[in-house]
């Protein structure tokens, strides 16, 4: 009986999953429409995607979106940007609300079960920001998000350094400003943006771990042509040095 219900549940789940995948738009329909629907982060994430003083969206991910549109449709401005919350980024791709999402998405095994990903456009990781442009000593204290995967990396690389758990990025960065900790450990892209806005602080050069950021694309054979086109473009941009140039332009470390 238990086995029967397991099989029934699995079949129902697959039916829902496959029907959701069918709602995503195939390449031929995107081409006929003449515009890309692209999911972007609803939140400012300098220097990946953020609004300037005039309210215009810019950053590395926005540059990639414009270049994709140019290569796919012959017009860099043939894009409708759809702001998405972090919890809705994958669902929007699955349900066909957007053709793809480029929204600070790290490739993980769990996410690969429900969407496909392009080749990565940036390798993120854990970095340290500090008020001092110097290495960390055993006497120092590093703030880090409670429950973060960065804790393991920090213990491996700084076995004698004290760690202090915090509940948010803002709390960790505030502790640096108040000189209650020496450094704060977090995602290198977020910390890069913070240092760009607070130039009296330093992003220490070492990056720990490697987390590929990539474009989320719909699964299914009907979307294979679209995925291949996007991957071919990302590969070409990397080979010709365009991606590296834009990464350096936006001040992201390698």
What are the helix and strand counts (H, E) for the chain? 10, 13
Tell me which of 153 and 6 has the higher pLDDT. Answer: 153
Report if residue 232 sits inside a domain.
yes
Q: How many domains does the chain have?
A: 2
Residues 84, 152 share a domain = no
Residues 235, 180 share a domain = no
Residues 113, 20 share a domain = yes
Is a pLDDT exceeding 60 seen at residue 230?
yes
- Residue 64 CA to residue 60 CA, distance in Å, equals 6
CATH of the domain at 182: 3.40.190.10
Residues 201, 147 share a domain = yes
Q: In this structure, are residues 140 and 196 in contact, taking their beta carbons and an 8 Å threshold?
A: no
Tell me which of 17 and 35 has the higher pLDDT. Answer: 35
Q: In this structure, are residues 93 and 115 in contact, taking their beta carbons and an 8 Å threshold?
A: yes
Residues 76, 190 share a domain = no
Report if residue 141 sits inside a domain.
yes
Residues 139, 26 share a domain = no
Q: Give residue-wise pLDDT tens across range 23-79.
A: 688 999 999 999 999 999 999 999 999 999 899 999 999 999 999 999 999 999 999
Interstrand relation of 36-41 and 100-101 (parallel, antiparallel or unpaired): parallel
Residues 32, 154 share a domain = no
Residues 117, 17 share a domain = yes
């Amino acid at each position: 009986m238990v086995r029967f219900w397991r099989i029934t549940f699995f079949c129902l789940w697959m039916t829902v999953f496959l029907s959701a995948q069918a709602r995503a738009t195939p390449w031929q329909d995107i081409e006929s429409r003449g515009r890309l629907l692209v999911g972007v982060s609803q939140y400012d994430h300098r220097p990946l995607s953020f609004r300037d003083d005039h309210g215009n969206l810019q950053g590395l991910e926005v540059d990639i979106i414009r270049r994709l549109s140019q290569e796919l449709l012959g017009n860099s401005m043939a894009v409708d940007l759809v702001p998405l919350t972090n919890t809705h980024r994958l669902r929007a791709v699955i349900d066909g609300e957007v053709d793809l999402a480029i929204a600070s998405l790290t490739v993980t095994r769990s996410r690969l079960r429900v969407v496909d990903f392009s080749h990565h456009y940036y390798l993120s990781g854990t970095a340290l920001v500090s008020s001092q442009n110097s290495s960390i000593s055993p006497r120092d204290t590093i703030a880090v998000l409670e429950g973060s995967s960065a804790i393991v990396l920090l213990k491996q690389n700084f076995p004698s350094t004290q760690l202090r758990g915090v509940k948010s990025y803002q709390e960790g960065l505030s502790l640096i400003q108040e000189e209650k900790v020496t450094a704060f450990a977090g995602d290198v892209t977020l910390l890069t943006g913070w240092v760009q806005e607070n130039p009296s602080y330093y992003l220490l050069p070492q990056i720990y771990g490697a987390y590929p950021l990539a474009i989320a694309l719909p699964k299914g054979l009907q979307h294979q042509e679209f995925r291949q086109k996007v991957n071919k473009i990302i590969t070409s941009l990397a080979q010709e040095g365009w991606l590296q140039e834009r990464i350096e332009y936006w001040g992201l470390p390698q």
